[in-house]
Structures are given as C-alpha cells and as structure tokens.
Structure 1
Amino acid sequence: MRHVSSLTDFRNRRRVALAAGFVLLQLTVIALCIEIRQIPLPRPPDSNRIEQMWREEGSGDWQPVTLPDHRPTAGLTPTVTTYRGAFEWSPGEGETPWAVFVPRFTTTIEIAINGSTIEDTVRDPSNRRPDRNTPVLAPIAESLLTPGTNEVTVRLKVWGPLEGYLDSLYIGPDASMRPAYDLRRTLFGTLPLILAAWQVTFATLLGIIWLNRRHETIYGYLALATVLGVVQHFAGLPHSAVVAGMLGATGPLEAALMLHYVLLLTGRRIRRWHALAFAPGLIILSSAFLMSPDQLRAIFLLFGPPSMGVLIACVWVVLLAAVWQARRHAIYLATIFTAVLSCWMLDILTLNNMMDGERIFIGRPSYSLVLIALGIWLIWRFVQALKEADGFAAALVQKVAEAEDKLRANFAREEERARSEALLAERTRLMRDLHDGLGGQLVSIVALSEQTQPSGQAIGEAARSALKDLRLVIDAMEEMDGDLMLALASWRERIDTQLRAHRMQLNWSIRGPSGLPIFQSLKSWHVIQLIRLMDEVITNAVKHSGGRQVTVTIESVEDALGRPTGRITIEDDGHGYEAPAGHGPIRSGTGRGLLNIRRRAALCDIRLVTETGTTGTRIALTLPAEFPSQAGDGNTGKI
C-alpha cells in the first residue's frame, strides 16, 4: 500500500510540475504575441506625410482632421466620407515618379489628384475586406501635377460590420514609398495567398481521407473547417445582406468545427450538447434572412468575434485537460491555440479602439498558421504510423519466416511419416493379398502333396491357381495412372485362356472410343479387388452356368451427379441360378461365390446388379466416379 501511495504521489507531483510548466509556456506565448503585435511596420519618411487634412462633414462644410481617422458605418448601406489635402511639387522633382501611399484603410478608397482619379480599390474585391490590412500605392502621372500646390482628394467608402478607418497619407517619390509598400504587400497579400493555397491542398487531402474512411469523422470536421477558411479568404465583402450574413457566419462555424475536431483528437466523445457550439454561426446566418442590415451588424458584433474567441478558449481548455493527462501532443496543439486566442483578443481590443499602435488585425492569418501547424502534426503522426507499420511488417515478416521454417520442418516430418505409413499400408496390403490368395493356394498344394496318394492333376490345378494369384498381385502393382483398361487387358488374356480350357468362348466388347474414363482415385488394391470380383464371376459361370459363351461389355456412363464413370457387364448363356436371401433355393456352390462378390464390390463402392434366369446370368458392375481412399469407406453395395 505504501508503494502504491508513493507512486500516486509521484504522478500527482509530476502532473503539477507539467501543468505549471505548461502555464508558464502559454504566458510566454501570450507575451510574445503582444510584443509581435506592437512591432511597428516600416513607413515612408515623415517628410512625405500629409499632416493637415480636411473632412467634409456636410454639404460644403469642411472640418480639419488629423489622420488616422475613424468613421462610423451604416451597415450594408455605403457611407462616403471625403478628405482633402494639399502637397507641394516642383518640376525639378519630375525626374523621379511620385506616388500616393496609404498603409491601411476600411473599406474602399478612391484617390484623386487635382480632380483626376488615380486609384479606386472597389475594383479589387480582396481590398474590400476590412480585415485584410491591405495597403495601396497609387502612382501619379506627371501630367496631373502642377508646379507649386497640388490637391489630393480621398473618398472613403464604408459598409459592413466594422467602422471606417483611414490611415495616414503619404505623397512623395515612388522610391521612398516602395519598400514599405512591398513589405506590407508581402505580409498581408502574398503570404495569406500562399497560406490559402496550402489550405486548399490540405482540405483536398483531408476530404479524400474522410470519403474513404467515413467512420473517422475527425478528418471530416477538419476538412470542413479548412474549406470555410478558404471561403473566407477568397470571398470579398458583398453588398447583399444575405451573402454578408453567410460570410460572417463562416468564422463561428469554423471555430465550432475545430472544437469538435479537438474533442475527437483528445479521445473524447461527441455529445449532443456539443452541437450548441454551432449556435452563434447559425444565429448570424438566420439573421441575414430575417433582420435588417443594421440588426445584422449588431448580431455579428455580438455573436461573431466573441463566440470565436469563446470557442477557441474552449478548445484550449480541452487541450489543457489532455495536458493534465500527460498527453505530450496536447502541449504542442494547446500552445498553438494559445497564440490564436491571443491574436483574436488583440483583434477585439483593436476593433474597440483599446489597442495602441497601428490598426492591424492578425486573427485570420494566425488561424491559417494553426491549420499549417495541424497539418505538420498530422504529417508527423502519419510518418510515425508508417514507421510503426514498417516495424510491424518487419516483425511480421520475421515471424512468418520462422513459421515457414517450422511448417517446413513439420511438413518434412509429416511427409516422412506419411511415406512410412504408406509403405506400411502397402506392405500390409501386399502381405494380406499374398496370404489370402497365394498363401492359401500354397497351403493347398502342400496338403495335396502330403496325401498318401497325391493327385498330380489336383496339385497342378492348385499350382496354376497360385500362379494366377501371383500374376494378379504383380499386375496390380504396376503404375497405371488411373487407367483401368490396362489391367483389364491383362485380365482378358488370362481369362480367355481359362475359358478355352473349359471349351467356352469369350466375347469382348468395348463401347465408346476409350471404354472407361481415367479414375484419378484408383489404387492398386482397388484393381486387385475388382479383378478378383470378376474372377469370381467367371469362375461361377464356368462351374455353374453350363453355358458356352461369356460376354464382357465395357462402356462409359455418368453417375447421378453427371460425373463420368464406367460399367463392366459380364453375362453368360447358361441356365442361370437363383439369388440367395429369400429368393428360392441356391444352386450348389454359388452361395459362397456371390457373398465374396458382394463383399469385394462393397469394399470398392461398386454398385452390383445381378440378373439371372433360364437364358443366363448377367452381372453389371457400375464403378464409382471416386473410389474410396481406404477399404471399408464405400457403401455396402447394392444388388
């Protein structure tokens, strides 16, 4: 018990230390985000700045104003504010092109020099987004400038949920404006475009994975969140309230999808009440159809950015719980979401004019960086899974090789055992055949030779029978490859000689081109049993039929299953005999022979049909399509 208690205390202390280090890391990340947000971006020299501007308050009413200037918005109804200013230009400065530089504005601006328009950002939909931080550099044609004082007019068009904003105005040589413009364009134009292109690729890969693995919904949540991020990047600020509401709802919906993704990533189950995370986005979306533009703006400011911050905070809490459970990957992901949450909080402070410095929004770019970080982590996990799969495959190959070696050794032993058993079975069968056939005949010869007055004729007949059995065993041992016709050809020669000795004629008939099909399951002991069966039939015909002809017919037939097989029919022209088993008296000497015929037919699963009458006896042997593998496997035979 003491050991268990000490182990529990150690784990608790370790978790507390890990949590403390984690919190310190997150505070460091928050501080870094604030410091990065405070880093001033380069601007042209102050000598090029237009310090004094005039803003039109009403019809012909101009009031002095110092830029940057904030203007209220009228929702989706555009409001236009006009600014005027003056700058000096001399002809000697015409060798260097001049330009107008505006670091930041919301939502679109139109710039005119001496009444001639040189730039209108309404033509570029991406510049109409209030969260893009897009700068403008408008070259001034020399023909528009006059020596001395020149007038610059800026018309600021404002609509959407955010207030209007016009940053400081710089007019001077293009060379002094270009470095600040190029840096801002790279940070707020080119880099977001690269991140959006990466998001498209990432969403495509995730969608393919999810479509092929529907049960892993984690990929579906992340794919949908990535798609919404791409839509937010490429969609400009529309004039329609419905489309504006749909665009405004993508942010909260995207954060809700990310929350579900993180829940699954940390091993938690999705509950029904988790669907409430989609409520802010759905409220904004429904407001676009049901409310006025001003009400839609109020709903967005109430449920849009705040709900996104709350949902990202919920994601952070879930990851913090995973960190407490000592899941190291949660530290990495939580740190990233801490950075995103910090950026969104800074954006909210900037939106409410509570943040010093330039009016720049960094929440959206930071979220794109989160998706990249998630992609890097997923790729890393995928590589780790591949390494584990490779290791498992290598171990499996090694185990399979070991199993193959064992199976090969077992197979060799089984093969040797099977060979030994086959040799033993063949030896036993051969001994039984010799004992039952040749052995009995030799015993008869010995008994006849030991009689007081041995009969040479009886001894000769017994010797011939022994020789016949020996030849039968030898013929059956030859390799026939299932061709029973080879054994029947040898049997025909021997039987023909036997019948001629008794003044009987053999009629041999083969129906069909080959007589009998090839029997793949035919063994030597099948041949011996069949030949002895047929010998018994011929012996009965010679001894008991009283006929003069024996006809053997060989033909190919099909069994009940349509498989090829054969039939051997032996018939004589004698006076016949009556079958046993209740069918009348048995002619002397036939009972034993019929019993042997039935027994041998049953051993080989041969169907036996006997027909006898005053015109002769007919015995039909229908061979099986598959001979039994062992003696006794067959049926009892049918008569």
Structure 2
Amino acid sequence: MWLAGNRIRVVVFLFCYWLLINYLVFFSPITFFHGPDTGLVQDVEFIASEMDSPVDLPQAHWQPLSLPDDWDKNQRQVEQVWYRASVAVAEPGDDIWAVYLPLVAHNAAVFINGVWVGQGGPFGEPSSRQQNTPLLFSFSPALLLPGENQIDIRVQTSFHAQGFLDAFYLAPESRLKEAYAWKYFVRVDLVRWVTMAMYLMSAIVFAFWLARPQDSIYGLFSLELFLWATHNLNLFVTEIPVSARLWEAMTMSSLGWTVIAMIFFNHRYVGERNAGVEKFILIFAALGVGIFFLPDIGSILHIGYGIWDSFLIVFGCYAIFHLLKAYVRRLDSDIFLMLLAGVPILVFGFHDILLVNHFLDRRDGLIIQYSAIPAVLLFSWFLIRRFVRSINRAEHLADTLEQRVRTKQQELQSQYEKFQSVQEEGLLLKERERIMRDMHDGIGGQLVSVISLLQEQRGGVYKKVREKVQHSLTDLRLVIDSLDPLLSDLPTLLGMMRVRLVDQLEAANITLEWAVTELPEMKNMSPRRSLHIMRIVQESIANSIKHAQSEKIMLATGVIGAENRQVYVDMVDY
C-alpha cells in the first residue's frame, strides 16, 4: 500500500482528504435534487394571519415576495404566514394535476381556487413537522380554470425563526412525481431505513455487551448508535408525541451525547484514554440535560445552536486529532479507516450547524445523517470482527484446556494404574514372603531334619533316600529364590543358584567356570519363568554330573542381536 508505514504521507493524504470533503460540501456541493422542468412558481404575495381558510383572509395588506422565503432572514416574528400566487393555465386537460412543495418548515396546506387539496399534517400545537419531507398534493383538473388560477398556501412553524417556504411547482402530476419520489427517497425513506438499521444494530451490539460486560466498547457503541438514531427521528417523524419544545430539546441533546459517546468509544477502541477530557465532556453531557428545562423553543435554539453546537465542533475536532495522533504512533490500519469515516462526520456536522444557524442556504438540507452509513458499517464490522475473534480465542483456549485436562486425566489414570499395580505388587510381595517363610520354616525345616536323621543311618538305601531328600531341599530353595522379587533379574538368580550348587559340584570334583555377565532388564520375567530357567540350568548341571564325567563346567550368559532383544544362557562341560 502506498501509504503503509509512511507517517508523513498519511498526514498529507488525510489533510487533502479533509480539504476535498470541505470543497465538495461548501464550495462545489453535489446537487442530488433537480426540480421539475415545468410549473415553477416563485412570485407570490404573503400576509401574516392566523386564519384557517383563505376565504377568511383580508384582501388588503398582501406584500409581494420572490420565493424562497426564509422567515429568520426576513425577520418574520409570527408562526403562520399565508402565500398566494396567481398562475395561468391555458387548458387543464384531463390529467391529474399536483402541487409540489420541495421544502417547507414546518407544515403546509394548499388551496386551489379556494378549495382545499391537501396538507402535510395537523396544525396547532404541536404542529406537524414536514421540514425534511417534500410534499405532493394531487387534485382533479376540474378545480383549475382556463386562464388565471389562485393558489393559497398556509405555512405554520413551531418557532418563527424556523419558518421557510421554497419555490413550488404546479403542473400535471406525471411531470412532478419523479422529482418528488427521488427527493422523498433520499430525504425520508433512506434516512428511515438507516435509522431503523442503527436501532437494530444497537440492539445486537447491546446483546454482545451483555455477553461480554467486561468489554465496555460494545456498550458504548450500542449507546452511540441509539443516540444517533434517536437524533435522526427529527428527519422523518412528522407527528411528534411530545411538545415541540421537548422535541427540539431531545434532538439537540441527543446529537451532543452521540459525539460524547463516540469520543469514549474511540478512547477505548484505540486503547488511549484521556481521563481529563472524559471528565470534562461528562460534565458537559450532564449540563445537556438542562436543555430540557429551558422555558421555550427560542431559548433552546439559541443555547443549543449557539453554545451547545459550538462545543460539539470542538469535541469533533478533538476526536479526529486524537485518532490522528494514535495512528501516527502506531500505524494501525483500523485507526486509519476510522479517520476516513470520521472526517465526513466532522465536515457534515459543521455544515449542518452552519445551516441551522442560517449561515447556509437552508435548501441544501441537513446531511450529517448520511455520514452515519459508512461510519456505522465500519464500526459494526470492527466490533463483529472483534467479537468473532474473542469467540475464536475462547474456543481455542477451551480446546487447549480440554487437551490439557485430557492429558492430566491420562496422567492421573496412568498414576492410578501404577498405584494399583504397586498395591497389587505389595500384596503379592507379602503373600510371597508368607509362602517363602512357611516353606522355609515348615517344609524346608522338615527336609533338613530328615537329612540329619538319614546321615546317622548306614546303607545304600539310606544314602539314595538322603540324596533324593537333598535334591528336594535344593529344588525347594530354587522355588523360594524364584519367588523373591529382589531376585527377579537373571544374573542374580544364577548367582543364588551357584551358591546352592557349590556343595554338589565339589562332591563330584567338578570346577565351575563362571562367565555370567550383566544383562539388560527383562520386563517379562516372572516367578514362573525364573523357576523354569533355574530348573533347566539345574537339570543341565545334574545331567553333566551324572553322565558326562566332566571335570569342568562353564556357565555363561549374553545377548543376541544389536538391539539386545534376546538373552541366552550357555552351559558347556568338558
């Protein structure tokens, strides 16, 4: 990206971007609304009157005027004015005709040749608020006369400085409807849809905040959306449920609170809070409640437009400066996008403040509501992305925790199994010790006694019996040795066996050559296997003594293969 990593380029780009937005808004505004090409009426007469019908109006004291008529600039200190125009119609024809009012503040009723053809809404207190709504009143061509026709328009406003009537159109409806429909869509329908979407998004984000109350930016953004949407109600709600004074106070204060919520949101999203600024604007927000207690609309408009809105411009400039400073330090693309969305909000807001204070042509209309579209989409995307990332992190942590729990569970299971094995081995050990003790003290003792008795006897039979008993005692000792868990490795067993066989080998005049070496651990050794091995060795030695007539016996051990998986015992007599 051309701007990536270059602070000077970013600042220059944003400055040019700000200049471009200002140029398009103030010096070369883009015109979205083009009036119909026929039926324009600008030259009228007017009179200030509280009458409800043109038949009650006086015929004198009418003053000429060229529309548009801004009551504040023309210093009209009344809340209702009648306008009258004389329009020549050559031939009405059979088509439906209409009167198109592009802009009126706040309410209007139209009469053709003294016959009422329509009005924006109810008159009185509070009056219907049509200041952002184009009006189109259709009527039968039978009301028109060939030649001159009189058009009377009654305009009523909630406060005299807000009154306004733009040039209007009288023509067949088919020639007026396209311009009316387009302006109604942009000024009313689009704003209504955006506002409803903001309320919906506010509810969704509020639900996110309820799910994550520790993340305050969701609550702040939900509040910001709600306040901004509430401010937009003034643009399309025509029949207000409260007095005009309270409605103006609500419209004024909600805009200020929106800016304040936006600053709090920016501080927390960027991660750079300013406690002093937040404390000051909170005090300012609290003072905004006082707008509701002002005695009349004039006071609300004077304080709201003159003082309240001036501070909002300062706050808006601070918000942009704060984001710019944060971006220069961190070069965060999210902050850059926030600046792109924030600059139009500031410029459009400044435009609207100048407009409501009558420094700009009121026919331009309010435009800050349109800056909400990219801003709301951007910030909503930010927060939804943030929420999704939080869910993904939580799921990742949950998976990691689950894996750790599973590992610990396996470790505990393994430890438990080892513990069980140790317990079982302990029980077996005790049982082996008991058996070994019983065999040694019981059977072993009896065999030793038998051998002692037989040694006192002479004769070949006694000698053979004594040898058999001696052999049985040796075998018993082998069994006892095989049960000893401390003698579970093969070299140790053979060493114990060597001690048992020394007397037998010496009696046969056989020399034992010992070549038993260290062997790897044999995990499959058991008392049964140990006994089998010792008996095999014992039988081999016995056979050698009896039949080989050898003088030497060599007993050796070793391993076969590079991986030491096989162990051998080798006995050689010669």
TM range (shorter): 0.5 to 0.7
User: What corresponds to 1:476 in structure 2?
Assistant: none
For the residues of structure 2 that align with 1:274 and 1:404, how far apart are their CA atoms? 48
User: What corresponds to 2:69 in structure 1?
Assistant: 69
Give the percent of matched residue pairs that are identical in Structure 1 and Structure 2.
18
For the residues of structure 2 that align with 1:424 and 1:84, how far apart are their CA atoms? 114
The superposition leaves residues 404-449 of structure 1 with CA deviations (integer Å, 9 ceiling, x where unpaired) of 79997x7998799779867865664344122321210124313432
Instruction: Report if aligned partners of 1:102, 1:135 keep a CA contact under 8 Å in 2.
Output: yes
Unmatched 5+ stretches in structure 2: 50-57, 457-468, 470-475, 477-574
The superposition leaves residues 94-126 of structure 1 with CA deviations (integer Å, 9 ceiling, x where unpaired) of 221110011112111121111222222134999
User: What corresponds to 2:43 in structure 1?
Assistant: 52
User: What corresponds to 2:226 in structure 1?
Assistant: 227
User: What corresponds to 2:522 in structure 1?
Assistant: none
Of 293, 298, 301, the residue aligned with 1:294 is 298
The 3 A distance-change label for structure 1 pair 143 and 414 is: same
Alignment of 1:91-102 (within 5 A): 92-102=91-101
Instruction: Report if aligned partners of 1:98, 1:139 keep a CA contact under 8 Å in 2.
Output: yes
For the residues of structure 2 that align with 1:266 and 1:162, how far apart are their CA atoms? 42
The superposition leaves residues 23-81 of structure 1 with CA deviations (integer Å, 9 ceiling, x where unpaired) of 33333444444578332512111x41113211225773111111111003999x97101
Alignment of 1:149-228 (within 5 A): 149-160=148-159, 163-228=162-227
Question: Which secondary structure state, in structure 2, belongs to the residue aligned with residue 222 of structure 1?
Answer: helix
In the alignment, is residue 338 of structure 1 matched against residue 343 of structure 2?
A: yes
Instruction: Report if aligned partners of 1:246, 1:285 keep a CA contact under 8 Å in 2.
Output: no
Question: Which secondary structure state, in structure 2, belongs to the residue aligned with residue 99 of structure 1?
Answer: strand
For the residues of structure 1 that align with 2:84 and 2:412, how far apart are their CA atoms? 99
Q: CA RMSD in A?
A: 4.4
Q: CA deviation at 1:299?
A: 1.0
The superposition leaves residues 337-358 of structure 1 with CA deviations (integer Å, 9 ceiling, x where unpaired) of 1001111122233334444683
Instruction: Report if aligned partners of 2:305, 2:356 keep a CA contact under 8 Å in 1.
Output: no
Instruction: Report if aligned partners of 2:89, 2:145 keep a CA contact under 8 Å in 1.
Output: yes
User: What corresponds to 2:29 in structure 1?
Assistant: 37
The superposition leaves residues 179-237 of structure 1 with CA deviations (integer Å, 9 ceiling, x where unpaired) of 10010011011101110110111111122122233222222222222222232333556
The 3 A distance-change label for structure 1 pair 162 and 389 is: farther
Instruction: Report if aligned partners of 2:159, 2:298 keep a CA contact under 8 Å in 1.
Output: no
For the residues of structure 2 that align with 1:297 and 1:356, how far apart are their CA atoms? 18
For the residues of structure 1 that align with 2:344 and 2:127, how far apart are their CA atoms? 26
User: What corresponds to 1:498 in structure 2?
Assistant: none
The residue type paired with residue 338 of structure 2 is L
For the residues of structure 2 that align with 1:413 and 1:282, how far apart are their CA atoms? 65
The 3 A distance-change label for structure 1 pair 426 and 279 is: closer
In the alignment, is residue 120 of structure 1 matched against residue 125 of structure 2?
A: no
Range with greater deviation from structure 2 (265-274 or 179-188): 265-274
Alignment of 1:153-552 (within 5 A): 153-160=152-159, 163-234=162-233, 236=237, 238-269=242-273, 271=275, 273-325=277-329, 326-355=331-360, 358-367=363-372, 369-385=374-390, 392=396, 396=400, 400=403, 425=426, 428-450=429-451
For the residues of structure 1 that align with 2:433 and 2:208, how far apart are their CA atoms? 71
The superposition leaves residues 492-524 of structure 1 with CA deviations (integer Å, 9 ceiling, x where unpaired) of xxxxxxxxxxxxxxxxxxxxxxxxxxxxxxxxx
Range with greater deviation from structure 2 (62-71 or 299-308): 299-308
Q: CA deviation at 1:272?
A: 5.7
The 3 A distance-change label for structure 1 pair 329 and 142 is: same
Count of matched residue pairs: 446
User: What corresponds to 2:542 in structure 1?
Assistant: none
Instruction: Report if aligned partners of 1:203, 1:223 keep a CA contact under 8 Å in 2.
Output: yes
Question: Which secondary structure state, in structure 2, belongs to the residue aligned with residue 378 of structure 1?
Answer: helix
Question: Which secondary structure state, in structure 1, belongs to the residue aligned with residue 108 of structure 2?
Answer: strand
Instruction: Report if aligned partners of 1:195, 1:369 keep a CA contact under 8 Å in 2.
Output: no
User: What corresponds to 1:80 in structure 2?
Assistant: 80
Instruction: Report if aligned partners of 2:231, 2:254 keep a CA contact under 8 Å in 1.
Output: yes
The superposition leaves residues 2-33 of structure 1 with CA deviations (integer Å, 9 ceiling, x where unpaired) of xxxxxxxxxx9843333333333333444444
TM-score (norm: length of structure 1): 0.60
Question: Which secondary structure state, in structure 2, belongs to the residue aligned with residue 122 of structure 1?
Answer: coil
Unmatched 5+ stretches in structure 1: 1-11, 456-462, 464-469, 471-639
The 3 A distance-change label for structure 1 pair 126 and 449 is: farther
Alignment of 1:596-611 (within 5 A): none
The 3 A distance-change label for structure 1 pair 421 and 351 is: closer
Q: CA deviation at 1:240?
A: 4.7
In the alignment, is residue 15 of structure 1 matched against residue 19 of structure 2?
A: no
The 3 A distance-change label for structure 1 pair 145 and 347 is: same
Range with greater deviation from structure 2 (305-314 or 200-209): 305-314
For the residues of structure 1 that align with 2:420 and 2:19, how far apart are their CA atoms? 80
The 3 A distance-change label for structure 1 pair 127 and 32 is: farther
Instruction: Report if aligned partners of 1:104, 1:135 keep a CA contact under 8 Å in 2.
Output: yes
Question: Which secondary structure state, in structure 2, belongs to the residue aligned with residue 37 of structure 1?
Answer: coil
TM-score (norm: length of structure 2): 0.67
User: What corresponds to 1:480 in structure 2?
Assistant: none
The superposition leaves residues 374-404 of structure 1 with CA deviations (integer Å, 9 ceiling, x where unpaired) of 22332344455556667x479849x949x97
Instruction: Report if aligned partners of 1:40, 1:357 keep a CA contact under 8 Å in 2.
Output: no
The 3 A distance-change label for structure 1 pair 424 and 274 is: closer
Question: Which secondary structure state, in structure 2, belongs to the residue aligned with residue 109 of structure 1?
Answer: strand
